[in-house]
Amino acid sequence: MSVEYRDFTVTNRLDRLTLTIPDGERIAYLGRSGAGKTTALKAINGLVRATSGDLLVDGTSIASHDLVQLRRRIGYVMQQPALFPHRTVYENIATVPRLLQWPEDRTRAEVKALLQKLELPDFENRYPRVLSGGEQQRVAIARALIASPRLLLCDEPFSALDPIIRMELQTLLVETASDTTLVFVTHDFREALRIAGRIVFFDAGRVIADAATAAINVQQHPLVRRFREAAS
Amino acid sequence: MNLLRLTGEHLLIVVVAVSIAIAAGVPLGTFAHRRRGAGGIALRITDAVQTIPSLAMFGFLIPLPFIGGIGARPAIVALVLYSLLPIVRSTLVGLQRVDPHVREAATAMGMTGRQLLMQIELPLATPAIVAGIRIAVVTAIGVATIAAAVGGGGLGTLIFRGVAMVDTRLILSGALPAALLALGADVVLTQVERHFARKRGEA
């Protein structure tokens, strides 16, 4: 799925953002807290609306999309796993398939396969409360990926996890979501390098740098330099 | 006087009244959650009703056509009014306590407002709603004894007759079973509440 911001503005959060994400790209939004990266992310699935300007998903303005239908085709993972506490792991992951009215045996088979891939075998009947933070986040990833979305939105999904599990999940995410457009919000420079092919730096509601991951080391903006120094 | 029959009558009035209050109160609480303005007004009205002394409430109901008069009907109407507040308020509180991140996740997955309410918010609010029902039932069992003053029947009949005849044993034969009913209802519904809380992953 492609995404295109056109002078996208949200009062006090984002200032005339213009940015194109081609289908299949893996892009990271990097910046400090309050820089506007989460606002930019949530604009894509309509959780945040524009004050002015427009946003196109697959070439169609977000205002013309049926948001409910669109959201079922876009995966979304945030820092808090936010699993449904009254539902088992299976029922959590089966949420979108049930909304899409898949036959139950198809859902069952795909959930099983995805849990294998995410190294959570036989977790179907457990409740979220008995899982560790890393396990909960893996279930949240499975819940976002089960219906094979062509676009995955991640809002600092690993920042609450310890460094070892964080690294494991970064690898796992890149492998599992390999043919999906990925928009990944983070304030961790190394994480952005590991996951994305392109990095967009946000500061105070504006984009201050936009470069392929390979070319990021020649960016001379002071904030980019500070991020780089902090990570090395 | 048949103690069993009066206890049955007492329970019937309470069950009918609280059932009606649940059927009206849960939607009202949901509405109060969705629309702050109108919801606030609904809450204030049920709040005000709660402050009317129960004997006065029956007095008010006697001259009213259809819902008032004497007998079981005004008794049930009064109990419905008293039961509404705890149920509306606990529904509202239960819905407000749902983790906003969980709500955001459900919305971002493409749930409609109705699906969010039925599949996520109300199930997660159930323990709180049951707590409200428990308070409503215990209150209603108490208030129902006063319903005998307007001919509503139930265990209050024995109490009022005992008072009139200055017969302590007669008073206690109504008061004790009423108190036991209230205690029993409290214990049972507390268990139900815990069961739901455990199921909802809170315990």
Domains annotated on chain A, with CATH: 1-73+151-232 (3.40.50.300), 82-148 (no CATH)
Neighbours of B126 (CB within 10 A): 19
B-chain CB neighbours of A69 within 8 Å are 110
pLDDT tens digits in sequence order for chain B, 203 residues long: 588 999 999 999 999 999 999 999 999 999 999 888 877 888 888 888 888 888 888 888 888 887 878 888 889 999 999 999 999 999 999 999 999 999 999 999 999 999 999 999 999 999 999 999 999 999 999 999 998 888 888 999 999 999 999 999 999 999 999 999 999 999 999 999 999 888 766 54
Q: Let me know: does B124 contact B200? Beta carbons within 8 Å.
A: yes
Q: Hey, are the CB atoms on B201 and A45 less than 8 Å from each other?
A: no
Residues 6+ apart with CB under 8 A from A119: A138, A172
pLDDT at B202: 54
**Chain B nearest C-alpha distance from A99 (Å):** 7
Mean pLDDT, to the nearest integer, of A119-134? 92
**Chain B nearest C-alpha distance from A186 (Å):** 18
Range of the domain at B131: 2-202
* In the predicted structure, residue A112 carries a pLDDT above the cut 80: yes
Q: What is the pLDDT of residues A185-221, one digit of tens each?
A: 999 999 999 999 999 999 999 999 999 988 887 778 8
Query: H or E segment at B13?
Result: helix B3-34
Q: Which of B107, B112, B200 sits opposite A85 (nearest CB)?
A: B200
Give the least confident one: A51-65, A162-176, A195-209, B13-27: A162-176
Give chain B's domain count.
Answer: 1
Q: Hey, are the CB atoms on A72 and B202 less than 8 Å from each other?
A: no
Q: Let me know: does A185 contact A37? Beta carbons within 8 Å.
A: yes
Q: Which of A82, A83, A86 sits opposite B199 (nearest CB)?
A: A86
A-chain CB neighbours of B130 within 8 Å are none
Mean pLDDT, to the nearest integer, of A27-56? 95
Q: Which of A82, A96, A140 sits opposite B110 (nearest CB)?
A: A96
What is the number of CB-based contacts under 8 A between chain A and chain B?
A: 60
Task: Say how far apart CA A155 and CA A168 lie, in whole Å.
Answer: 17
Chain B residues whose C-beta is within 8 A of a chain A C-beta are: 99, 101-102, 104-112, 115, 120, 123-124, 199-202
Task: Say how far apart CA A135 and CA B83 lie, in whole Å.
Answer: 43
A-chain CB neighbours of B109 within 8 Å are 71-72, 76, 95-96, 99, 143
| Beta-strand pair A181-186/A151-155 | parallel
What CATH number corresponds to the domain at position B9? 1.10.3720.10
pLDDT at A232: 74
Q: Hey, are the CB atoms on B105 and A47 less than 8 Å from each other?
A: no
Mean pLDDT of chain A: 93
Q: What is the pLDDT of residues A81-103, one digit of tens each?
A: 999 999 999 999 999 999 999 99
Interface of A with B in 145-174 (CB under 8 A): none
Read off the tokens for A73. Answer: 């085709």
